[in-house]
Structure 1
Amino acid sequence: MKIQLSPISVALLALFFTLQVQAQENFPFGQNREIISPEIHADNSVTFRLTAPTANNVSVTGDFLAPGEEANMIKDADGVWSYTTHPLPSELYTYAFNVDGLQMNDPNNVYYRRDVASTLNVLLVGNGQADLYKVNSVPHGTVTKRWYQSPGNNMTRRITIYTPPGYEKSDNSYPVLYLLHGMGGDEEAWMTLGRASQIADNLIAQGKAEPMIIVMPNGNVAQEAAPGESSLGFYKPQFRLPHTMDGKYEETFHEIIRFVDSQYRTIPEKAGRAIAGLSMGGFHTLHISRYYPNTFDYMGLFSAAIMPDEKIKSKVYDSIEETLVTQKNNGYTLYWIAIGKEDFLYQANIDFRKKLDTMDFPYIYRESEGGHTWRNWRIYLSEFLPILFKTR
């Protein structure tokens, strides 16, 4: 049977086939070679790939290399650059490409994290420590973003709260860990870079950690919330904000405790509270716990900044030794200090320990390899959680 098409139908069919060809040309799996990057091999080595046929020099940088180091990539006949690492230890890694002097993310990897104003791709190499950072087939807790009133800061502020598996179906009350981020971070840092909920889920499932609520506040009192999540809209994150480590956060921290105790089934007493933090968050842990010396039974200082700037004047930093003595005399279960040997705050922590020693102030000290890195802080959290709330 012969079908007669009108001139208009012929024109429409021609346009349709033209658009189809153009769509296939633009579709990444059309005529182009499919690129897998990163590719994690059985021996835990990793291959990175990038299609850049007109580039002259391409390299990859990441925390699987020495600080500041870049690895040159090699171009094949199809214009695909590649580099394969040696077998890597189990870890969550970040990386980026450098193409003719321009840093860029891996277009074949949709997984990335923001750290202050930088966005970096991530990959997870398992078969070891990083298995704690995976979403495994175990019962999962719930992570919520809440808003609370902060009269002391004259604003409504955002907070991240993890409740353990089974919280919603239970009538139990739970202990609380207040987990604090470092300078440049916010209420999302421990979730995205620190893998806090995955670590908690996995340790609870293994019976190594007690079910607990984990509260992750924003430690920047000048912010309502993380960049892009407040009424200020989208703006470039900054590293040091007004009121950073000037005593304001410590003064108003009781607002967070009050909110959590009013909204969740907590154990609202010293034996049911822990506080820990990294870098600036370790600084806040030290000073909040002694400023409210009968509030927390467990303290964790991860790579902590120790003493305030001499130019800062705040009642929070008056009588530091006297309040530490009060904290000691009130009694507590755990004071845990951890830092890497290459950390720029290493000597400050040594000096602080000497001060505690002269006061007969009991603590546990954990020294690791490495420096001021999320790799260490994830390890510290995975070691700290199992020793919390065991004596209740």
Structure 2
Amino acid sequence: MTNPKSLPICFWGVCLILSLYLGAQAQPPRGPLVVSPKINADKTVTFSYLAPTAKSVELSAQFEKGPVPMTKDAQGIWSVTVGPVKPDIYPYSFRVNGVTVMDPANVAFFPNERFKASLVDVPGDTPLIHALRDVPHGSINYEYYPSMEGTTGSLVVYTPPGYDQNPSKKYPVYYLISGTTDTEETFFKVGKTNLILDNLIAEGKARSMIIVMPYGNIAARVAEQKGGSKPADPTVRDGADAVKRANDFAEDLVSNVIPYIEKSYRAIPNRENRAIGGFSRGGGQTLRAAFHNMDKFAWVCAYSSYLSPQEMDGTFSPIVNKPNQTNKQLKLLWVSVGSDDFLYKGTVEFMDYLKAKKVNFKSLITDGGHTWMNVKTYVAATTPLLFQP
């Protein structure tokens, strides 16, 4: 029997080459390189998707009114150029033979409980408020805390520039809640809240603050961690199920999240240095949590959200029946909405209701709909108002 050690080096070299060749032969063939999206100098954007055997591919983007057909080249790459597109961040996806898919050539995506769209960031000629600029930057931390029913909750936490350099300094905290089907990452990855604050702080327009971004769907998390199925979202925004879930969130926030943050971070632990805000469902959670806990929050921001007059009259009568007291307690009550938002009517009615009840508030009505483009505008408008003397 031949001793393997006695075989010549050239034999092992041939074996190595043969194994590499066979290994390469076993790999599936690689298709052509696809670059997508490609942002052109004139603000048009080219989207591409490799699908040689597909019968149809369409682009679905938030800046388009409907699906846009794409055309296939000889390599099987489907492409379309659209625009020019107004500078901002937009979700988009492809429909391949009627099936919605993400862009596999793009690592940026929209965190969501359901379908995760891809994201395209069209820069402005002058950097937008959410753009990455050459300024001092804060940090993003992922945190886990003991939550309701023995589950583990998740948070994304922004600390401002200089937080780690001055261990004796304490900061106010803004609790910021995403909308229905969004996750704790959405204000970070889509809303670019960290970059907005970095830029505003660098310009001297906003105070340095901690921003805490929790996951708003307590029922889904409990079901997931206990082996159940995610419950369907409430069908009525102010129905009993929606109100119960909002109250559960408020209980988790007050009893678990705030104590965890004030133990783990250098947070100033009083109502004058706590703000709460949210978008859509998160805005409803914001209003309910704040109005139930006026001893906890002095700054309240509702983005594309409202409470009905019936709920205000019934559940929160002290807020509206004692407006002078409310106005002294709340250093800011903010309500904003887009003119094309499907919640526009209810939000404007809420503003009119507060005005009739003599409850002070600031408001902003923008163009556009129920979008994260508007949310970034609202964050940029409200954070300079928070924690001011």
TM-score range, shorter chain: 0.7 to 0.9
From 215, 219, 222, give the equivalent of 1:222: 219
**Corresponding position of 1:265:** 266
The Cα shift of 1:239 comes to 5.5
Equivalent runs, 1:68-83 vs 2, <5 Å: 69-83=66-80
In the alignment, the residues of structure 2 paired with residue 11 and residue 143 of structure 1 have an alpha-carbon distance, to the nearest angstrom, of 49
Give me the identity figure in percent. 31
Which structure 2 residue ranges, 5 or more long, are not aligned? 1-7, 235-239
From 138, 154, 160, give the equivalent of 1:158: 154
User: Is the Cα contact below 8 Å between 2:327 and 2:360 reproduced in 1?
Assistant: no
Q: Tell me which protein shows more helix as a share of its residues.
A: 2
Equivalent runs, 1:267-286 vs 2, <5 Å: 267-286=268-287
CA offset digits 1:313-358 (Å, max 9, x no partner): xxx9954132344551543222111001121211111221222112
The Cα shift of 1:8 comes to 8.7
Determine if the alignment matches structure 1 residue 200 to structure 2 residue 197.
yes
**Corresponding position of 2:3:** none
**Corresponding position of 1:323:** 319
In the alignment, the residues of structure 1 paired with residue 175 and residue 132 of structure 2 have an alpha-carbon distance, to the nearest angstrom, of 22
**Corresponding position of 1:288:** 289
In the alignment, the residues of structure 1 paired with residue 18 and residue 196 of structure 2 have an alpha-carbon distance, to the nearest angstrom, of 57
User: Is the Cα contact below 8 Å between 1:283 and 1:307 reproduced in 2?
Assistant: no
In the alignment, the residues of structure 2 paired with residue 335 and residue 267 of structure 1 have an alpha-carbon distance, to the nearest angstrom, of 20
CA offset digits 1:65-99 (Å, max 9, x no partner): 12xx1111122233322100121111111111112
The Cα shift of 1:232 comes to 5.7
* TM-score computed with the length of structure 1 as normaliser: 0.83
In the alignment, the residues of structure 1 paired with residue 90 and residue 107 of structure 2 have an alpha-carbon distance, to the nearest angstrom, of 14
In the alignment, the residues of structure 1 paired with residue 131 and residue 226 of structure 2 have an alpha-carbon distance, to the nearest angstrom, of 33
The residue identity in structure 1 corresponding to 2:294 is P
In the alignment, the residues of structure 2 paired with residue 239 and residue 353 of structure 1 have an alpha-carbon distance, to the nearest angstrom, of 30
The Cα shift of 1:185 comes to 2.4
From 130, 139, 142, give the equivalent of 2:139: 142
Structure 1 SS opposite 2:218: coil
**Corresponding position of 1:172:** 169
In the alignment, the residues of structure 2 paired with residue 287 and residue 294 of structure 1 have an alpha-carbon distance, to the nearest angstrom, of 13
User: Structure 1 111/8 Cα, relative in aligned 2: closer, same or farther at 3 Å?
Assistant: same
Equivalent runs, 1:356-371 vs 2, <5 Å: 356-371=354-369
The Cα shift of 1:10 comes to 5.8
Determine if the alignment matches structure 1 residue 240 to structure 2 residue 236.
no
User: Structure 1 116/20 Cα, relative in aligned 2: closer, same or farther at 3 Å?
Assistant: closer
**Corresponding position of 2:377:** 379
In the alignment, the residues of structure 1 paired with residue 17 and residue 146 of structure 2 have an alpha-carbon distance, to the nearest angstrom, of 62
In the alignment, the residues of structure 2 paired with residue 127 and residue 6 of structure 1 have an alpha-carbon distance, to the nearest angstrom, of 60
From 101, 122, 126, give the equivalent of 1:125: 122
User: Structure 1 104/183 Cα, relative in aligned 2: closer, same or farther at 3 Å?
Assistant: closer
Which structure 1 residue ranges, 5 or more long, are not aligned? 311-315
* TM-score computed with the length of structure 2 as normaliser: 0.84
User: Is the Cα contact below 8 Å between 2:327 and 2:359 reproduced in 1?
Assistant: no
* Number of matched pairs: 371
From 99, 108, 111, give the equivalent of 2:108: 111
**Corresponding position of 1:313:** none
In the alignment, the residues of structure 2 paired with residue 343 and residue 366 of structure 1 have an alpha-carbon distance, to the nearest angstrom, of 13
The residue identity in structure 2 corresponding to 1:249 is F
Equivalent runs, 1:81-92 vs 2, <5 Å: 81-92=78-89
User: Structure 1 135/345 Cα, relative in aligned 2: closer, same or farther at 3 Å?
Assistant: same
In the alignment, the residues of structure 1 paired with residue 10 and residue 201 of structure 2 have an alpha-carbon distance, to the nearest angstrom, of 70
The residue identity in structure 2 corresponding to 1:157 is G
In the alignment, the residues of structure 1 paired with residue 93 and residue 181 of structure 2 have an alpha-carbon distance, to the nearest angstrom, of 20
User: Is the Cα contact below 8 Å between 1:290 and 1:324 reproduced in 2?
Assistant: no
User: Structure 1 12/144 Cα, relative in aligned 2: closer, same or farther at 3 Å?
Assistant: closer
